[in-house]
Amino acid sequence: MTNNILEVENVYAGYVQDLNILQGINFRVATGELVAVIGPNGAGKSTLAKAIFGLLTLNQGTIRFQGENIAGLKSNQIVKKGMCYVPQISNVFPSLSVEENLEMGAFIRQGSLQSLKNSIYNMFPRLAERRNQRAGTLSGGERQMLAMGRALMLDPDLLLLDEPSAALSPILVNGVFEQIKAINEMGKAIVLVEQNAKKALMMADRGYVLENGCDRFEGTGTELLNNPKVGELYLGSGKNHS
């Protein structure tokens, strides 16, 4: 019996039929695990997240979530099975308040949302301070917190985060990464697609390095950080591979 919550096997997918960006990806996430996905621009990182979440049609391969083949399901069906996705951009409703955004995140839940909202406010005190403020007026870091908080309103078993540190200042990046670690410590499995490769690998249980739509390297975060080939090709000497 596997303890993998997510298994991606030999997946080929892209945005145009017969033009595959993903070239036979194999990928797995264990229950409660934090897995980082890194690689150069155009490697297929965000495409992988979209394929997992049903935003792209697979041309070949299988995706299993909690033992069930979800290939071919729409994203709204996948959400109901316990997976949420936070895209890099357009991830909040700017004209709605913080509180209204959280409530929109729980659109399929029945009953009172107050205890859920309270738990999100406890995790993100900045959101509690701005609960009546329109999301469009928030800073980049606050928007990212709101996007994650909205996803957590469904109490998912797996959270897909696509480039959560993009366009944030170093101080805000640290705060967002601390929150991601805290979410993982609650028992949530996380797939972290991230441009900040070193930070992602430092906090990840395991990681994958994608190149040209293929999973070129796999290992624990520490193994990948210490792999000289990974360091030379993808991590650089403190360079920012955004």
Q: Which residue did the predictor score with more confidence, 1 or 27?
A: 27
Q: What confidence tens digit (pLDDT) does each residue in 159-190 have?
A: 999 999 887 888 888 888 998 999 999 999 99
Name which residue leads in pLDDT, 173 or 129.
129
Give tens-digit pLDDT for 65-99: 999 999 999 999 999 999 999 998 778 999 999 99
pLDDT at 110: 65
User: Structural domain boundaries of the chain?
Assistant: 4-235
The identity of residue 175, as a single letter, is G
Distance of CA 238 to the CA centre of its chain: 24
**Arithmetic mean of pLDDT over the chain:** 90
Nearest to 125 by CA among 178, 162, 80: 178
In three-state secondary structure terms, 128 is: helix
Given this model, what pLDDT does residue 159 score? 97
CB pairs under 8 A, 24+ apart, for 200-205? Answer: 200/36, 200/38, 201/36, 201/38, 201/225, 203/34, 203/36, 203/177, 204/34, 204/35, 204/36, 205/30, 205/33, 205/34, 205/35
What confidence score (pLDDT) does residue 190 get? 98
Query: Angle at Cα 6 formed by Cα 92 and Cα 109, nearest 5°?
Result: 45
pLDDT at position 18 is 81
Position 111 scores a pLDDT of: 64
Task: Work out the pLDDT band at 2, boundaries 50, 70, 90.
Answer: low
Between the alpha carbon of residue 90 and those of residues 31, 155, 219, 241, the distances in Å are 28, 21, 32, 22
CA distance 24 to 160: 20
131, two tokens: 């609960």
Residue-wise pLDDT tens digits, 27-72: 999 999 999 999 988 899 999 999 999 999 899 999 999 999 999 9
**pLDDT at site 236:** 63
Q: Which is it for the CA torsion 158, 215, 163, 49, positive or negative? A: negative
Q: What is the pLDDT of residue 75?
A: 93
**Tokens 């366009």 — which residue?**
167
- pTM as predicted: 0.90
pLDDT at 150 over 80: yes
Would you say residue 242 has pLDDT above 50? Answer: no
> Residue 70 contacts by C-beta under 8 Å, 6 or more apart in sequence?
54, 63, 64, 77, 78, 81
Residue 1: its pLDDT value, please? 41
Given a cut of 60, whether residue 241 has pLDDT beyond it is no
If pLDDT is split at 50, 70 and 90, which confidence band does 109 have?
low
Comparing 106 with 73, the larger pLDDT belongs to 73
Does CATH number 3.40.50.300 belong to domain 4-235? yes
Residue 136 tokens, joined: 């469009």
